[in-house]
Chains A and B, each alone.
Chain A
Amino acid sequence: MLNRDPYEVLSVPRNATQEEIRSAYRALVKKYHPDKYQGNPLADLAQEKLQEINEAYEILTKNPSQADPSASYGYGTGSGYSGYTSGSTASPLYNQIRSAINRNDLGQAQSLLDKCTIQDAEWNFLTGILAYRQGKISEGISHVQKAMEMDPNNQEYRAAYAQLNSIGSMYRTNSAGYGYGNEMNPSDMLLCSTLPFCLCC
């Protein structure tokens, strides 16, 4: 159960209207959406955060049925890595590899992957996620791409591929939203360049 103030969780004032609460909630759901943390070692923390946001929203609206359907993505699985336990293709070995990756036991995941004899879509996906976790960014992404091409109907592969490819552009968008690029103005030139040693401020 939620043990923080729901207003604080949603960062809204106590006198916020239902409309304000709803829009704050939507923004937070977007921020911590599981798709954004696909392949990320902190995916489980994002999931916890989202759970907290959902609970706060339910308390403040007292109307759980209104909860954003996208927010319930990956819910109730109880796994750290959303969507990682499902799938008709999942063999016991693949499940072991998934849970090794979830535990961040990359050595174990690697040695289990080495045991696989068939290099199907799932093998490529897990190899890609593992490579990515080891810091081999492009190699990881190209394996996930291969998985997606081998099994074009798999939503998880598709979402992971889209996410891993868009992390950089997401940063650009956030940074521009924070004012990057608006900064070419004369006050730039006026700024003291010897800040730590300057006595003027």
Chain B
Amino acid sequence: MLGYVKAYVPELKVREFQVYNGTYCGLCKTVGDRYGQVFRLGLSYDMTFLALLLGALLEEEPQLTAEHCVAHHIRKKPILRCSAQEYAADMMMILGWENLRDDLEDRDHGHRARDLTLAPLLRRAASKAADLRPEASKMIASALADLQALEKQEDPGTDLPAAAFGGVTEAAFGWEDIPDAGQKRAASAFGRSFGQWLYLLDAWDDLEDDLRSGAFNPFLTRVLRASPDGVTTLRQRLRPQAEALLYHHLGEMALAFDLMTIHRDEELLRNIILLGLRRKTDGTLDGKKDNSHAEQRSL
């Protein structure tokens, strides 16, 4: 469930692009400082977005430095740091561990060797993060328990599991340091819609794999699984419903974003929300990657 959130770079100003990269690098450094170098490999633009959005809600100015790093050892890169990145790094450990634990429990055995090596390290990092952010961590654990219970039911539908996952991201976006109660509510509501969108998009992306392996997928009801139709037909049949839901959640995000008092990087954030997320949505709905697999097989 990674890599869904990216800016649409060609429409960015160079200055915005530099802030984007500087924040990515800042988060990467922050994760390294707080938890150890190995976790920097798990960094994604998804968490960069969390750091950017929450950072923009504070009046605090990010600090700019020029530093080397493993990936950029020749020239120094501009690095932006702010307290939202520390929070995002903590969330990254908590969510990363939950995600890995979920994978170890019920996914196929493909990545097991690497995952098993990483597991004890990530578990320790996550428990440190949970001590630092007790409230968010408790809310995340309880939302995930709800989600797990729903995923064990037969045909719980798309909305309830998505809402349960929305509870996870609602907790992650509802940062306790957001100065104003209304702003914190707007961020939480944004996070909730974001999670609903992310969950459904990821489920859509996994449709083919889950159909084959029999793993839970909110779109695949028992009746659909039993039908003789191939994944292409199923996709066609489910697409209008999936598209309407995904766009609905995108719209809710935009409504919440409009109510936020954004102190910096507003255009960059708008680019991610209005262009980046939509691009990802359309691309995933079209299932280009999976369609090409299907074509190869039929050849």
Interface residues of A, Cβ cutoff 8 Å to B: 31-32, 36-37, 40-42, 45-46, 48-49, 134-139, 167-172, 174-175, 178-180, 183, 185, 187-188, 191, 195-197, 199, 201
Q: Does B21 contact A (CB under 8 A)?
A: yes
Option from B17, B75, B259 in Cβ contact (under 8 Å) with A45: B259
Q: Does B254 contact A (CB under 8 A)?
A: yes
Q: Which residue of B lies closest to A197 (CB)?
A: B71
Contact residues in B for A178 (Cβ distance below 8 Å): 270-271, 274-275
Decide: A191 and B255 in contact? CB cutoff 8 A: no
Q: How far is the CA of A32 from the CA of B186 in the complex (A)?
A: 14
Residue interface mask B247-271, A partner, CB < 8 A = 1 = 1101110111011000000000011
Decide: B11 and A179 in contact? CB cutoff 8 A: yes
Decide: A135 and B162 in contact? CB cutoff 8 A: yes
Contact residues in B for A188 (Cβ distance below 8 Å): 10
For this complex, 24 residue pairs linking A to B, each with C-beta atoms less than 8 Å apart, are A40-B189, A40-B255, A41-B185, A41-B189, A135-B166, A136-B157, A136-B163, A139-B159, A167-B248, A168-B247, A168-B251, A171-B247, A171-B278, A175-B274, A175-B275, A178-B271, A183-B11, A183-B275, A185-B10, A188-B10, A195-B21, A197-B71, A199-B74, A199-B75
Residue interface mask B151-163, A partner, CB < 8 A = 1 = 0000001011011
- Given A48-B182, A168-B247, A180-B278, 14 more A-B residue pairs with CB atoms under 8 Å apart are A40-B252, A41-B185, A42-B189, A135-B163, A136-B159, A167-B247, A167-B248, A178-B270, A180-B275, A195-B9, A195-B21, A197-B71, A199-B72, A201-B17
Interface residues of B, Cβ cutoff 8 Å to A: 8-11, 17, 21, 24-25, 71-72, 74-75, 157, 159-160, 162-163, 166, 182, 185-186, 189, 196, 244-245, 247-248, 250-252, 254-256, 258-259, 270-271, 274-275, 278-279
Contact residues in B for A41 (Cβ distance below 8 Å): 185, 189
Contact residues in B for A201 (Cβ distance below 8 Å): 17, 21
Decide: A31 and B258 in contact? CB cutoff 8 A: yes
Decide: A137 and B159 in contact? CB cutoff 8 A: yes
Contact residues in B for A167 (Cβ distance below 8 Å): 247-248, 251-252, 255
Decide: A136 and B160 in contact? CB cutoff 8 A: yes
Nearest Cβ on chain B to A159's Cβ, whole angstroms: 15
Most buried by B among A31, A41, A42, A195: A42
Q: How far is the CA of A36 from the CA of B270 in the complex (A)?
A: 19
Q: Which residue of B lies closest to A166 (CB)?
A: B251
Contact residues in B for A49 (Cβ distance below 8 Å): 259
Contact residues in B for A137 (Cβ distance below 8 Å): 159, 245, 248
Q: How far is the CA of A119 from the CA of B114 in the complex (A)?
A: 56
Most buried by B among A32, A41, A49: A41
Nearest Cβ on chain A to B60's Cβ, whole angstroms: 20
Option from A134, A175, A187 in Cβ contact (under 8 Å) with B163: A134
Nearest Cβ on chain B to A167's Cβ, whole angstroms: 3
Q: Which residue of B lies closest to A187 (CB)?
A: B10
Decide: A171 and B185 in contact? CB cutoff 8 A: no
Decide: A42 and B259 in contact? CB cutoff 8 A: yes
Q: Which residue of B lies closest to A138 (CB)?
A: B159
Contact residues in B for A195 (Cβ distance below 8 Å): 9, 21
Contact residues in A for B196 (Cβ distance below 8 Å): 135
Q: How far is the CA of A171 from the CA of B244 in the complex (A)?
A: 11
Q: Which residue of B lies closest to A170 (CB)?
A: B251
Contact residues in A for B259 (Cβ distance below 8 Å): 32, 42, 45-46, 49
Q: Which residue of B lies closest to A49 (CB)?
A: B259
Q: Which residue of A lies closest to B260 (CB)?
A: A45
Contact residues in A for B157 (Cβ distance below 8 Å): 136
Contact residues in B for A175 (Cβ distance below 8 Å): 274-275, 278
Decide: A36 and B247 in contact? CB cutoff 8 A: no
Contact residues in A for B252 (Cβ distance below 8 Å): 40, 167
Decide: B159 and A168 in contact? CB cutoff 8 A: no
Nearest Cβ on chain A to B201's Cβ, whole angstroms: 14
Contact residues in A for B182 (Cβ distance below 8 Å): 45, 48
Q: How far is the CA of A183 from the CA of B10 in the complex (A)?
A: 8
Decide: B274 and A180 in contact? CB cutoff 8 A: yes
Option from B25, B163, B247 in Cβ contact (under 8 Å) with A172: B247
Q: Which residue of B lies closest to A136 (CB)?
A: B159
Q: How far is the CA of A34 from the CA of B117 in the complex (A)?
A: 53
Q: How far is the CA of A172 from the CA of B278 in the complex (A)?
A: 9
Contact residues in B for A168 (Cβ distance below 8 Å): 244, 247-248, 250-251
Q: Which residue of B lies closest to A171 (CB)?
A: B251
Q: How far is the CA of A195 from the CA of B278 in the complex (A)?
A: 20
